[in-house]
Structure 1
Amino acid sequence: MASGLIRDARQICVARIGAPHGVRGAVRLWSFTADPFAVADYGALATKDGARSFEIATAREAKDHLVVTLKGVTTRDEAERLNGLELYVPRDALPPTEDDEYYHADLIGLAAVTTAGEPLGRVVALHNFGAGDIIEIAPPSGPTLLLPFTNAVVPTVDLKAGQVIIEPPDEIEGDTPNHPEA
């Protein structure tokens, strides 16, 4: 690293270890990278606190996950103790994003404002429950807002300005009108 450059200390979760697979220390691994096998390209993967790190020795595809062996993990008992661990890499170890692509960690904490400039709150999470991405915004008070993370609802993401611009939908499915039933 060149002197004078500040390393991005944010950690990005790239995988989660699941249950053991077999008796020789292999584990199920859910990769959160676009190409599931790319998780092996980052070298050592660390726990969030950085106290432990693991290197993938081998990886093969399974139904909806990878089956991997980790260097130093050779028994089922050792593998069982890793179940549920999330594995991270530094943000700057990841490849740059394309236009209109973002890592969740880049969006968390950004201010959310309406197209009229009115503050809505801060981005606290992004979710995908199977029907598309959802942006979660925490207002200064009250319940969080869950909105579709689409170009229509979030027309602008300005990382340099530290904000997302929100065009709230006119109607959100499931909302009940505020008028008495006839």
Structure 2
Amino acid sequence: MAAPVCVARIGAAHGVRGAVRLWTFTEDPLAVKDYGPLMTKDGARQFEVTHAREAKDHLVVTLKGVATRDDAERLNGLELYVPRDRLPDTDDGEYYHTDLIGLAAVTTSEQPLGKVIAIHNFGAGDIIEIAPPQGATMLLPFTNAVVPTVDLDGGRVVIDLPQEIDGDDPSAA
């Protein structure tokens, strides 16, 4: 089976009949209904979305077998996954985070930097996190200027390290 991809996270219960708030990580929030059963990362539990409607910044969904508010409350915070091969192909320049995790990171002069361990988005754009063999991880903007090459087949990303980072004050050291 292909590596699982996190497509949603269950939030608080909604109402008294077992509905839950669902935050999706898909381009089209309602697409989670099209991927088949959603499962926990370990695959031990599966959930089928029986009904979904859009709310302000999330979906309100009912899941097969979840009939009471107590049942729904026990699911709060649970991340839901689907196998990677159930997701649509990406366009050029688009990537699933799971495809990037574990890639080698090298500089434009082919010097090894480490491995990609995460992609974050704190609201101002994607950030790529690279773990060197030793020392602190690097957080860099995941932009075409900083990451000019993503070579999935070659198993690497090329990083053009910025000369200075806004906010750095060399005289404060």
- TM bracket (short chain): over 0.9
The CA distance in 2 between the partners of 1:158 and 1:75, in whole Å, is 47
Corresponding position of 1:20: 13
TM-score (norm 1): 0.93
The answer to whether structure 1 residue 124 and structure 2 residue 80 are counterparts is: no
C-alpha displacement of 1:180: 7.0
Please name the residue that 2:158 is paired with.
165
Aligned to 1:93: 86
2:34 is matched with: 41
Amino-acid identity (%): 75
Q: Distance in 1 between matches of 2:45 and 2:108?
A: 44
Q: 1:84 aligns with which of 60, 68, 77?
A: 77
Q: Which protein shows a greater Rg?
A: 1
- How far apart are residue 115 of structure 1 and its match? 0.2
Partner-residue secondary structure (3-state), 1:64: coil
Q: TM-score normalized by structure 2?
A: 0.97
Mark the runs of 5 or more structure 2 residues left unpaired by the alignment: none
Q: In structure 2, give the amino acid aligned to 1:155.
A: P
The alignment covers a number of residue pairs equal to 173
* Aligned with residue 144 of structure 1, among 116, 119, 137: 137
Structure 1 unmatched ranges of 5 or more? 1-6
Question: Greater CA deviation, 167-176 or 81-90?
Answer: 167-176
The Cα of 1:173 is off from its aligned counterpart by: 1.4
Deviations 1:112-146 (A, max 9, x none): 00000000000000011111110000001111000
Aligned to 2:61, what secondary structure does the other structure show?
A: strand
RMSD (CA atoms): 1.1
Q: Deviation per CA, 1:75-104, whole angstroms, max 9, x where unpaired?
A: 000001100100000001100111011000
Runs of 4+ in 1 over 4 A off after TM superposition: none
Q: Which residue number in structure 2 is paired with residue 4 of structure 1?
A: none
Q: CA deviation at 1:174?
A: 2.0
